């Protein structure tokens, strides 16, 4: 992802840049919110209200200035089954699924705010770099594939002149967006490109798909609307309802937080600043909770719109506030104009986002990093595209953890020697934990060892209960053979760990505060102390 750093300037931004980037984001939010509402099986206005509420609340209260939140596809694909099952529960023609969605969002909000309250946002640090690269590449591909749907008209692929017009207008948008920043670094390239292409299409009276035709082709009527209104979700407040919506709420909360925290980490890297994951969890939770009360579909951080904002110069909270306010303004007062924007202009902007989002450095490091990292990058990329972000990240983290454990398990070593007094020494190197216990036990030759054995942990660490059990096991083996074994050079935290485990396994440990450091007659010191056989 280092290539992105050269594209996105780490400057602090300005109010002017925030305003222009916010307007650009608002324009890009319209078709995205509408498209995701269709995916979820809810009316377009529900998606637009969701985008407005999420964007505004997280911009004001979130932990990552410059990051944009709204209705997302990752959450929409889960919502569709929730809405369908809710409709079935309500009976034919009841459209109860929408009300169940709003009620679920209340729980989503509670779960996410609890995650923030208990400071679970810090666990994003557990995501390895390889998983992050796979996540970025996967989302870039997902964004690209979603834009291909814009080349369809009434469910079928464009052909002939309409297709070539669409391609030409997309290319024109991308060209303007590439040239403008080179002429003037602070110019809002994306906004200029959208306006220029819209004026060109209107002046030349070119017939091409617009925001309105896109909405109509998907069964909608337009984006005209008023302020979102407060309403308690109309669902039966029973135990059965809670049992039905809670699993969906947990999944949506997890997906939302994972995508948000991953996006937050990416924006942190691009802007060379640091956001607060825990504060963002609280803001995301509040945003979804308010959506449940005001008729929005909820959502989370949007990597596409966040990249548009950052690459357009948006760095502060003002950019998100402007984006949300402009979106609501479009809905209430200027819908007839926004509906005339060519879809090609918005597609061109999103394709530039794809180019800037994809970690092109992946191809340069393929032969320079461990093969397991390459496998994780590819796996997370594929899973993000095929399934969703949550599954991809969880699988990536688990596989990376297993690989880490396996590689560290192989590092356990034992240097052996018998001193002039006939005492055998095992000097242990490497961490002793669940994955290395088998290899650790294989290092000892109980039957052929002398009557006294010293196991030296100066260069090792006892990490967990499995390690304690392994030490207990080897001590028992020596005891059955009529031999004594002594543990030396245990650090204080290792001693405390063993003592805490005394209630669940038999381990006797002699505290050794001096660690035998600087003692001239080491063996005489051992003889003078009464070690107990373990």
Q: Given a cut of 90, is residue 458 above it in pLDDT?
A: no
Q: CATH code at 523?
A: 3.30.750.24
Cβ–Cβ under 8 Å, residues 292 and 233: yes
Q: Determine the pLDDT at residue 499.
A: 63
Looking at the structure, do residues 422 and 524 belong to the same domain, yes or no? yes
* 389 and 427 fall within a common domain: no
Dist CA 220 CA 278 (whole Å):
38
Rounded Cα distance, 166 and 152, in Å:
10
pLDDT at 533: 34
Candidate from 105-109, 250-254, 352-356 with smallest mean pLDDT: 352-356
Together in a domain, 393 and 417: no
Name the packing angle between helices 15-40 and 317-332 (round to 10°): 60
Confidence of residue 63 (pLDDT cuts 50, 70, 90): very high
Confidence of residue 4 (pLDDT cuts 50, 70, 90): very low
| DSSP run (H or E) holding 69 | strand 69-70
In a domain, 319, yes or no: yes
Q: Is 416 helix (H, G, I), strand (E, B) or coil?
A: strand
Which residue has tokens 């050269």?
A: 6
Which H or E run contains 453?
strand 452-462
Angstrom distance (rounded) from CA 293 to CA 291: 5
- Maximum distance among all alpha carbons in the chain? 101
User: Three-state SS across 1-40?
Assistant: CHHHHHHCCCCCCCHHHHHHHHHHHHHHHHHHHHHHHHHH
| CA geometry: angle 319, 270, 71, nearest 5 deg | 50
- The answer to whether residue 178 sits within a structural domain is no
**Residue 430 sits in the same domain as residue 323:** no
Please report, to the nearest 10 degrees, the dihedral formed by the alpha carbons of residues 461, 467, 471, 473 taken in order.
Answer: -170
Please say if the pLDDT value at position 516 is more than 50: no
- Pick from 402, 419, 445: which residue ends a domain? 402
Dihedrals phi, psi of 301, to nearest 5 degrees: -65, 145
Query: Which of 287-296, 310-319, 497-506 has the least mean pLDDT?
Result: 497-506
Is residue 194 in a domain? no
Portion of the chain with pLDDT greater than 90, in percent: 35
Is 189 a domain residue? no
- Same domain membership, residue 153 and residue 111: yes
- Pair (455, 324) in one structural domain: no
Residues contacting residue 58 through CB under 8 Å, at least 6 positions apart: 67, 69, 280, 283, 284, 287, 301, 320
Please tell me the predicted confidence (pLDDT) of residue 530. 41
Q: Give the tokens for residue 51.
A: 């985008």
Residue 191 lies in a domain: no
Q: CA 492, CA 140: separation in Å to the nearest integer?
A: 48
Residue 285 counted as domain residue:
yes
Same domain assignment for residues 433 and 326:
no
Domain span holding position 105: 10-157+219-333+376-402
Residue 179 forms part of a structural domain: no
| Same structural domain, 16 and 117 | yes
Q: Which helix (H) or strand (E) holds 271?
A: helix 239-271
End-to-end CA, the chain? 52
Going by pLDDT thresholds of 50, 70 and 90, the confidence category of residue 500 is low
Q: Per-residue pLDDT averaged across 503-524, rounded?
A: 44
Q: Is residue 108 part of a domain?
A: yes
Mean pLDDT of 484-507: 67
Sole residue written with tokens 């916010």: 22
Is residue 474 domain-shared with residue 396, that is, in the same domain?
Answer: no
Tokens at 231, concatenated: 């309403």
Tens digits of residue pLDDT in 235-293: 999 999 999 999 999 989 988 998 899 889 889 888 888 889 999 999 999 999 999 99
Query: Are 267 and 328 contained in the same domain?
Result: yes
Q: How many CB atoms lie within 10 A of CB 528?
A: 8
Q: Is the distance from CB of 358 to CB of 136 less than 8 angstroms?
A: yes
Confidence band of 463 (pLDDT split at 50, 70, 90): confident
Structure tokens at 116: 């923030």
> HSE of 101 in the Cβ direction (CA atoms, 13 Å)?
31
Task: Check whether residue 153 and residue 26 sit in a common domain.
Answer: yes
Rg over CA atoms, the chain: 30
**β-strands 300-301, 69-70 pairing:** antiparallel
CA distance readout (Å), 70 to 48, 320, 388, 397, 436: 9, 10, 17, 26, 46
Strands 452-462 and 424-432, sheet pairing: parallel
Alpha helices in 272-412, H assignment, sequence order: 277-294, 303-311, 317-332, 335-338, 343-357, 362-365, 371-386, 389-409
**How many structural domains are present in the chain?**
2
Residue 521: per-residue pLDDT: 44
Per the structure block, which two tokens stand in for 176? 């303007």
Please tell me the predicted confidence (pLDDT) of residue 520.
Answer: 40
Residue 467 confidence (pLDDT) above 70? yes
282: phi > 0 → left, psi -120 to 50 → alpha, else beta; which?
A: alpha
Are 373 and 403 in contact by the 8 Å Cβ rule? The answer is: no
Mean pLDDT over all residues of the chain?
84
Tell me the pTM.
0.74
- pLDDT above 90: residue 92: no
Residues 292 and 143 both lie in one domain: yes
Q: Which two tokens stand for residue 263?
A: 């996006």
How far apart CA 416 and CA 327 sit, in angstroms, is 72
């Amino acid at each position: 992802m280092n290539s992105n750093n050269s594209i996105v300037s780490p400057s602090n931004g300005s109010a002017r840049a925030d305003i222009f980037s916010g307007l650009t984001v608002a324009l890009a939010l319209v078709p995205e919110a509408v498209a995701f509402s269709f995916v979820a099986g809810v009316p377009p206005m529900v998606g637009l209200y969701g985008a407005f509420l999420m964007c505004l609340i997280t911009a004001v209260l979130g932990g990552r200035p410059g990051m944009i939140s709204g209705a997302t596809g990752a959450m929409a694909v889960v919502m569709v089954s929730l809405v369908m099952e809710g409709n079935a529960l309500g009976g034919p023609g009841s459209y109860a699924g929408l009300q169940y969605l709003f009620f679920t969002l209340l729980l989503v909000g509670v779960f996410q705010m609890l995650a923030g309250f208990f400071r679970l946002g810090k666990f994003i640090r557990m995501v390895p770099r390889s998983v992050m690269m796979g996540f970025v590449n996967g989302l870039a591909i997902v964004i690209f594939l979603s834009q291909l749907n814009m080349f369809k008209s009434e469910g079928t692929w464009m052909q002939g002149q309409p297709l070539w017009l669409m391609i030409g207008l997309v290319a024109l948008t991308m060209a303007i967006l590439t040239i403008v920043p080179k002429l003037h670094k602070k110019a809002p390239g994306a906004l200029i490109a959208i306006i220029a292409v819209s004026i060109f299409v209107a002046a030349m009276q070119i017939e091409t798909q617009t925001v309105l035709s896109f909405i109509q082709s998907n069964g909608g009527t337009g984006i005209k609307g008023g302020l979102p209104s407060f309403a308690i979700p109309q669902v039966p407040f029973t135990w059965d309802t809670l049992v039905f919506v809670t699993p969906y709420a947990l999944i949506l909360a997890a997906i939302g937080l994972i995508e948000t925290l991953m996006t937050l980490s990416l924006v942190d890297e691009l802007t060379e600043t640091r956001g607060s994951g825990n504060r963002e969890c609280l803001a995301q939770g509040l945003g979804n909770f308010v959506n449940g009360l005001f008729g929005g579909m909820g959502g989370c951080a949007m990597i596409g719109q966040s990249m548009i904002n950052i690459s357009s110069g948006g760095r502060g909270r003002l950019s998100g506030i402007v984006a949300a306010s402009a979106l609501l303004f479009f809905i209430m007062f200027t819908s007839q104009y926004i509906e005339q924007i060519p879809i090609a202009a918005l597609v061109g902007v999103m394709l530039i986002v794809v180019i800037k989002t994809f970690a092109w450095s992946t191809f340069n490091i393929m032969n320079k990093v461990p093969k397991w990292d390459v496998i994780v990058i590819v796996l997370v990329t594929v899973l993000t595209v095929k399934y969703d972000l949550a599954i991809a990240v969880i699988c990536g983290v688990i596989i990376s953890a297993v690989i880490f454990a396996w590689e560290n398990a192989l590092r356990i070593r034992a240097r052996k020697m018998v001193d002039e007094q006939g005492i055998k020494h095992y000097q242990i190197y490497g961490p002793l934990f669940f994955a290395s216990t088998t290899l650790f036990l294989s290092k000892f030759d109980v039957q052929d060892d002398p009557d006294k054995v010293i196991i030296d942990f100066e260069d090792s660490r006892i990490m967990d209960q499995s390690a304690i059990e392994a030490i207990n096991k080897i001590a028992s083996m020596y005891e059955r053979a009529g031999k004594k074994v002594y543990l030396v050079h245990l650090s204080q935290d290792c001693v405390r760990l063993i003592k805490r485990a005394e209630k669940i396994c038999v381990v006797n440990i002699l505290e050794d505060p001096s660690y035998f450091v600087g003692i001239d007659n080491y063996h005489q010191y051992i003889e003078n102390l009464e070690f107990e056989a373990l």
